[in-house]
């Protein structure tokens, strides 16, 4: 019989790719289709994490709810949490899974409550109360690994679980990096952030000004110069934390990143 230690050793030699797709790419049918075609072609174990912030804002607006963001994170009141559950957990997640099934990729759609997979705690109230925003405290690696072993592709939405019947909204970039960090104990992990730009830009007005290699020193400098703002702030914070906690390689780019043919950003130590 295979012992747990042996199983772990076998997995350590296995590569795992965790890919996050941002909301602005999902909204565009053409970009989503290019991305999913490349995603299904990736060999080996893989996990997809999706955002959808823009769509949630749009649906909330239609329902007459105002959206407030701070440092790339949504201040999530009760109404906002309900919209998020419907949009991320339902509309986006189920459509992506259906498209993957059509491409003959056996995907399963999950939020953090499913399989007790992503456990979080309400973000502590400091200057701001983010409401139903959860910071991840635990990833159920054993459950996620068991899906991967069955060749099932988990597709996670940006919803975590508080453990006491409460769902929380969690930045999708954080979901991806925390899953990558946790599973790097068992697999050799690579993390990919796909969004609408070619990578981290040195000049926000020039889409070709991609920084090909980004280290922490340059990242801090670019924050001070206000070149890195908005959603890019939590995204890069997640990248460096992941790199310092066992994730082997991290890349940022557009819907074509998975082919790595066009310019993109690599996070380096
Ligand atoms: N230096 C930068 N390079 C690229 N994008 C940046 C930069 N600074 C801020 N951004 C913004 O960050 C956004 C990406 O973050 P976010 O909106 O969270 O992405 P996602 O679509 O993955 O959710 C880009 O759309 C861009 O407007
Ligand atoms: C707490 C928090 O901000 N959660 C995010 C989750 C979705 C997300 O991250 O979507 P994108 O990847 O498309 O930005 C939000 O509600 O906007």
- The vertex-254 CA angle with 86 and 91, nearest 5°, equals 15
Integer Cα distance of 198 and 207 in angstroms:
7
| The CATH number of domain 4-267, selected from 3.40.50.261, 3.40.225.10, 3.40.50.300, 3.40.1160.10 | 3.40.1160.10
User: What distance lies between CA 99 and its chain's CA centroid?
Assistant: 19
According to DSSP, residue 124 is labeled P
- Average pLDDT in the chain: 94
Q: Which residues are annotated as a binding site for substrate?
A: 52-53, 74, 169
Identify the residues whose C-beta falls under 6 Å from ligand 2: 22-23, 51-53, 56, 73-74, 84, 133, 158, 169-172, 231
At residue 260, the pLDDT reads: 79
Length of the chain in residues, anyone? 269
At residue 142, the pLDDT reads: 97
Q: Which of 18, 124, 136, 171 to mutate to test the pocket of ligand 2 (most atoms within 8 A of CB)?
A: 171
Task: Report ipTM (2 d.p.).
Answer: 0.98
Query: What is the domain partition of the chain in residue ranges?
Result: 4-267
Identify the residues whose C-beta falls under 6 Å from ligand 1: 22-24, 51, 53, 72, 195-197, 200-201, 204, 227-232, 235
Q: pTM of the entire structure?
A: 0.95
According to DSSP, residue 47 is labeled E
Tokens for 139, please give them.
Answer: 């990833």
Q: How confident is the model at residue 258 (pLDDT cuts 50, 70, 90)?
A: very high
Q: Among residues of the chain, what percentage have pLDDT more than 90?
A: 90
User: What distance lies between CA 107 and its chain's CA centroid?
Assistant: 16
Integer Cα distance of 58 and 23 in angstroms:
11
Give me the mean pLDDT over the 107-123 stretch: 98
Bridge partners (DSSP) of residue 155 are: 48, 109
Among residues 167, 54, 150, 168, the alpha carbon closest in space to that of 107 is found at 150
Integer Cα distance of 246 and 259 in angstroms:
24
At residue 161, the pLDDT reads: 98
User: What distance lies between CA 158 and its chain's CA centroid?
Assistant: 7
In a 3-state reduction of DSSP, which class is residue 52?
coil
Question: Is the Cβ–Cβ distance between 266 and 104 less than 8 Å?
Answer: no
pLDDT at position 52 over 90: yes
Give me the mean pLDDT over the 226-243 stretch: 93
């Amino acid at each position: 019989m295979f012992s747990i230690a042996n199983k772990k050793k076998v997995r350590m030699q296995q590569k795992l790719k965790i890919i996050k797709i941002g909301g602005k790419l999902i909204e565009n049918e053409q970009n989503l289709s290019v991305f999913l075609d490349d995603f299904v072609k990736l060999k080996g174990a893989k996990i997809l994490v999706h955002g959808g912030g823009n769509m949630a804002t749009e649906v909330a607006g239609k329902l007459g709810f105002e959206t407030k963001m701070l440092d790339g994170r949504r201040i999530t009141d009760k109404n906002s949490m309900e919209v998020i559950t419907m949009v991320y957990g339902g509309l986006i997640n189920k459509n992506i899974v259906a498209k993957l099934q059509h491409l003959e990729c056996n995907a399963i759609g999950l939020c953090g409550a499913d399989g007790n997979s992503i456990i979080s705690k309400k973000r502590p109230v400091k200057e701001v109360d983010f409401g139903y925003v959860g910071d991840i405290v635990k990833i159920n690696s054993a459950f996620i690994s068991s899906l991967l072993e069955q060749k099932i592709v988990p597709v996670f939405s940006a919803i975590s679980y508080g453990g006491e019947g409460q769902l929380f909204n969690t930045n999708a970039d954080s979901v991806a990096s925390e899953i990558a960090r946790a599973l790097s104990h068992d697999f050799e992990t690579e993390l990919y952030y796909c969004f609408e730009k070619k990578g981290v830009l040195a000049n926000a007005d020039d889409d070709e000004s991609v920084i090909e290699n980004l280290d922490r020193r340059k990242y801090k400098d670019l924050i001070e110069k206000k070149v890195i703002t908005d959603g890019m702030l939590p995204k890069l914070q997640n990248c460096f934390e992941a790199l310092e906690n066992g994730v082997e390689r991290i890349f940022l780019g557009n819907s074509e990143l998975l082919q790595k043919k066009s310019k993109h950003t690599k996070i380096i130590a």
